[in-house]
Structure 1
Amino acid sequence: MSLALVEKFSGVLSSAARSLVIHEYQAKGLLRDHGVKTLPGEVCWTPEEVVTVCEDLHANQGVNRFVVKSQIHAGGRGIGTFTDGFQGGVHLCDTPMEAKELAAHMINNTLVTKQTPPEGRLVRRVFIEGAADIERELYFSILMDRNSRGPMVVASVCGGVDIESVAHETPEMIITMPIDIDEGMTIEQAGELAKQLGFDRQPQQATEQILALYETFRSTDATQVEINPLAELKDGSAASLDAKLNFDANAEFRQEEVFAMRDMAEENWREIEATKFGLNYIGLDGNVGCLVNGAGLAMATLDVLKLNGAEPANFMDTAGAITIDKVCQALEIIMSDENVEVLLINVFGGIVSCKILAEGILKFNETKGLNIPLVVRMEGTHVEAGKALLEASPIEYYKADNLKEACEKAAQLSKK
């Protein structure tokens, strides 16, 4: 679910920082394990594998039409464009050879969608599924809601389309249902959702599918289960034709099988590198690099930057006590982003020592060099010692006494 829909229902949280995303074919496997109806399919790494899979689906499952789906961690695949001009990352076809040709266009080609970085993502594999006999396409998701402090179902009879547009243009078409996190989804709630979504011919089967989707959400520590489309097939049954699942990274210790599905090639290398040093980093699209201690202060810093018209390049939380080397590692990760044109350091020291922070800045400048405008706001533990070190150094920087002043200055510098 994108930010646009989250903003429509402001309490609802989409995939948050520190979450795991998996591929569609992996998500479908988890759904099937929990009793969710999906279509028969298999992942393929080469065009040659595609022919074998299609022939097996035809012989063993009676499949006569096939869907070839690019597997990347981004939405909008169907209307995406490959960098060589080939259109669409999802295609319907009638024969194994046609599926092979489509896969040959996709595999080892780069797909650009509205949710990828501008340079796109390399498609390393495709998912081959049997085509569905669809009567209607709907939307169904379960995610966490801050206001109700528990899971929230967001659903609509308008599925298979840009759900964010539905939320903005026809909000009355969006169904929301909070779920008690202790009691879980009841059969009555699932039945009511099935009714509101118009599953009149097989209401019990649809109810069971909704309960199975909730059980997947609950038992895997998911932060989001999004099915778009959730289809009513010609026989009146419900089936999940697409799946996007995100998981709480804090639950990795009890979800080893899920986290074994992690695809490092799909993730921002800076985020991977940060975790090695106990740093929390999320790459963003702006030009103001941010180094902050504490997730709350980091989020507030990003908010105030945005309020001043600046675009943050990252979320970087030093996560607890810091060392000189940890400061250097954080700065190296931030500065490796070529979009960063201004660096904002905002530290309110409790556990963190401002003196150690300053020593880390000095060491980084000696070894790597700080060659962009720098704004520093420091308060708290050993702040006078930290400020004295920076004052005595050759580093040119802008001093700020508070968060507002620091963000205003960074924003001003970012627009030059």
Structure 2
Amino acid sequence: MQQKAKAVVCREVNQPVVVEEILIDPPQRGEVMIKLAACGVCHSDLSATNGTIPFPTPVILGHEGAGVIIAVGDGVSEYKVGDHVVSSFVSMCGKCRYCQTGRPQLCDQAAKAATTLPDGSLRTRDATGKPLNIFSGCGVMAEYATLHVDNVVKIDQQMPLDKAALIGCGVMTGVGAAVNTAQVEPGSIAVVFGCGGVGLNAVQGCAIAGARMIVAVDTSDAKLEMARQFGATHVINSKNEENPVKSIIKLTEGGADYAFECVGLGEIAAQAYGVLGKGGKAVVVGVASPKDMTSIRTATLTFGEKTLTGSYFGSARPRQDFPRLIGLYRSHRLKLDELITRTYRIDEAPQAFADLSAGRNARGVILFD
């Protein structure tokens, strides 16, 4: 049965998002319809509205959602009505060479379904019947959404859905960068550049992994104070430093074992690489503009055996990692409640995006009635 719903839509780049009523078709083969309970307002959604990540408009935003399945399509056996699920903006076909080698975050199918379902079709239309694209195969900043089963992960029904939603992107991306991509070792030194939603999770990922020294770097004292709450042992406001790289090398007595760029700027990626000691690893987590460039001294790769790498979605294996993160939350080792700075009704979405752009929130979350 076709469903009407409110959704947050980007109609034009560099214009405020709009909330409008849309039409959602029922699930077809291999799909489920979800009644959303919550959706995080992620910086990647903002990047779609300002053109940093080029998406064809109009597009329904949202990829960090959690809710309850209300309908299943033909051929769906692993999910049923009533299941609680979290969206995964990376599809997991299970068949391509990346999925088969344990790297589903690089799934070939996901790359082909950036604005549609995996088969290239859409279940979403506006009030006039015109198709609406969906952000990263999800489009879950809406009261209802139809997703392919490859984009959902079932979770324990005892897990609060507003907290679970955060796992779908920001938490997985940040914690995973530390634990999965970098594989931070106990007793090591780590530096995190950028203390927004993803950066704070990189900080707590390093703490969970047992790093003995975690240096948080940002231009906001408020965010740096929050980084302390998430496990940072030292903080540096880079606005107050003539040369942040030199200051960090001095503080760490020779350089870090790991550094994380969580901003999305080539200049900051170069700084993250620059603070490494010998044998160190710099991980670029932030999503940069397609034209952005990073420059490093090539010889240092050889003589210092340093590594510069990327981390997409925290090198996630969603169906294993999402429950793992929930377990850490339940054991009070992973902070989720503290991430939510403010909640919004869907009609307040334009304000949520304005607050995100202004850097007011660690994470804003839209709650659906």
- Superposition TM-score, scaled by structure 1 size: 0.24
Q: Which has the higher contact order (CA 8 A, sep 6+)?
A: 2
Which structure shows the bigger proportion of residues in helix conformation?
1
